[in-house]
Amino acid sequence: MKKYTTDFTVGKVTPALIKFATPLFLTSLLQVFYSMVDMIIVGHTGGEVGLSAVAIGCDVTNLLAFVAMGFAAAGQVLISQLIGSGKKNEVSGFIGTMCAFLTISAVVFTVAGFFTRDLLLRLMNTPAESYEEALGYSTVCIFGMVFIYGYNAASAILRGMGDSKHPLLFIGISSVVNIVLDLVFVIGLDSGAKGAAYATVISQAVSLILCIIFIYVKRASYDLEFKARDFLIRKLHFARLIGLGVPMAIKFAAIQTSRLFVNSFVNSFGLTVAAFSGVANKLNSISNLISNAFNTAGSTIVAQNIGAKKYDRVPRILYTVGGITCTVAVIFTFTTLVFPDFVFGLFTSDRSVIEVGYTYLPVAVLIFFGSSLRAIANALINGSGNTKINFVTAILDGIVLRIGLSLLFGIAMDMGALGFWLGDALAGFTPFVIGAVYYLTGRWKKEKTLVESKL
């Protein structure tokens, strides 16, 4: 019987990384593509109002998903460490604990999101013209939160086990569903931003269902049992998940909260600027998704090799991640600087919105390279499972520097919206600086992983 669990502690590093990362990269491209479809269709049919509504609605949804992002990322690393350290018999129990915790979290954040959505939109300085559209988009996505949490957990399980191909297949099917439903709801039924939200939620539900069915059918191939008792929250597994998941969730929450803070100031500059902010956020997301593909691949392979104490392989993994992501950053920079009308015109045909984008070009370059360098640092920090470094990075990157630099440039230096975008971009280099220091000290070779500790 074919084994899907991949051992990344043997063989050549670069081919293994590329082989594992390529499906993740393509998965990210598909996610980028179908998330762009929402923005493109709504932007061209609903103009500034629709563009602004989707951008702000996405910000609210991303804020509520920080637990899913943080704990799923932590779960993936811990699954890889369990496999690398030869503790495959503990994987089923850990996965059950993670799934139970994230299911409870999804319910909690659905309820919390529903009762705070109006407050969040007002704190975001949502323009009056797009408020109702943003409220509709946010509400639909909040009720689909269980699918966001579920898919993050399911894909983390597959990737932690070394299978990056099947998440690509499922997100590909989901992308087709999303595009078709966008055309039906937004254009066919003229349902605006809310229609785009329905398309997104339904497509995420499709991804989740396919993942669950596949994992269950192929459970023997993954050396998993999945008995009812596995889905009880077990103390040791939960302690490990909390130990790494909390700082990683805080990192996601801090970054997203600080971006909401930045975007709320940006939105106060009027509907046109708020509309371009949606385009800027999408470019940021595109860069991050591609960077995260190699961060995810790198952290999985780093985690297995650290778990197996094969430290000499780690530098080669990091160099390969950096070479690929920096190449992508160069391509993105060239395309955006040489063809700005084409890039911004993908999302809107409104000249006033596109012209705002011209001032954003230097920031876009910083965003692209900051994202590429973060992938290197996060591959090491996340793969090592160092909770303290993750927490420090979360506070500095997510709160202190992002908010501090944004206020410095945006208000103290009176640079307006550009200043807030600039502060956000510069803060994005924080993980690389911290990761570089962590790597050079060599501490990542000496610390125990969470799966080695009895806690």
pLDDT 10s digits, 403-444: 889 889 988 998 888 898 898 899 889 989 999 999 998 888
Name residues whose C-beta falls within 8 Å of residue 276's C-beta, 6 or more positions apart in sequence: 344, 353, 354, 356, 357, 360
Rounded to 5 degrees, φ, ψ at 440 are: -65, -30
pLDDT at 4: 46
Mind listing the pLDDT tens digit for each residue in 311-320? 888 888 888 8
- Domain contains 350: yes
Mean pLDDT of 1-23: 62
Q: Residue 190 falls within a domain, yes or no?
A: yes
Q: What is the spatial distance between Cα 376 and Cα 325, in angstroms, rounded to a whole number?
A: 8
Q: How many domains does the chain have?
A: 1
Question: Is residue 453 situated within a structural domain?
Answer: no
CA distance 149 to 172: 19
Token pair recorded at residue 214: 């596949």
Instruction: Specify whether the CB–CB gap between 19 and 325 falls below 8 A.
Output: no
Residue 242 reports pLDDT greater than 80: yes
Residue 196 domain flag: yes
At 393, the pLDDT band (50, 70, 90 cuts) reads confident
The secondary structure of 214-263, three-state, reads HHHHCCCCCCCCCCHHHHCCCHHHHHHHHHHHHHHHHHHHHHHHHHHHHH
Place of tokens 């202190």: 400
Span 43-90, pLDDT tens digits:
667 666 777 787 788 778 877 887 888 888 888 878 877 777 777 777
Domain that holds residue 405: 13-448
CA-to-CA separations, 323 to 57, 369, 378, 380, in angstroms, rounded = 34, 12, 15, 15
pLDDT of 292 higher than 70: yes
Burial of 86 (0-12, 13-18, 19+ CB in 10 A): exposed
pLDDT score, position 2: 46
Specify the pLDDT at position 257. 77
Q: What percent of the chain has pLDDT over 90?
A: 10
Q: Tell me if 125 is assigned to some domain.
A: yes
Rounded average pLDDT over 357-378:
91
Evaluate if residue 215 carries a pLDDT over 70.
yes
User: Is the per-residue pLDDT at 126 higher than 70?
Assistant: yes
- Whether 302 and 376 have beta carbons less than 8 Å apart is answered as no
For residue 400, being part of any structural domain is answered with yes
In this prediction, residue 1 has a pLDDT band, given cuts at 50, 70 and 90, of very low
Dihedral sign for Cα 395, 137, 351, 180, please: positive
Report for 50-59, 109-118, 220-229, 292-301: range of highest mean pLDDT? 109-118
**How many Å apart are CA 146 and CA 149, to the nearest integer?**
5
Structure confidence by residue, pLDDT tens digits, 327-364: 989 999 999 999 998 888 877 778 888 888 898 999 99
d(CA 432, CA 453): 27
Does the predicted model carry a pTM greater than 0.75?
no
Residue 366 has pLDDT above 90, yes or no: yes
Q: What is the band of 369 on the pLDDT scale with cuts at 50, 70, 90?
A: very high
Q: How far apart are the first and last CA of the chain?
A: 36
Which range among 61-75, 161-175, 199-213 has the greatest average pLDDT?
199-213
Cβ atoms of 8 and 313 within 8 Å: the answer is no
For residue 365, what pLDDT is reported?
Answer: 93
Can you give the pLDDT at residue 228?
66
- Per-chain mean pLDDT for the chain: 81
pLDDT at 401 over 50: yes
The whole-number pLDDT of residue 22 equals: 73
In a domain, 455, yes or no: no
Structure tokens given for 130? 């797009």
Q: Phi then psi for 109, rounded to 5 degrees?
A: -75, -20
According to the model, what pLDDT value does residue 408 have?
92
Domain for residue 240, yes or no?
A: yes
Share of the chain above pLDDT 70, in %: 88
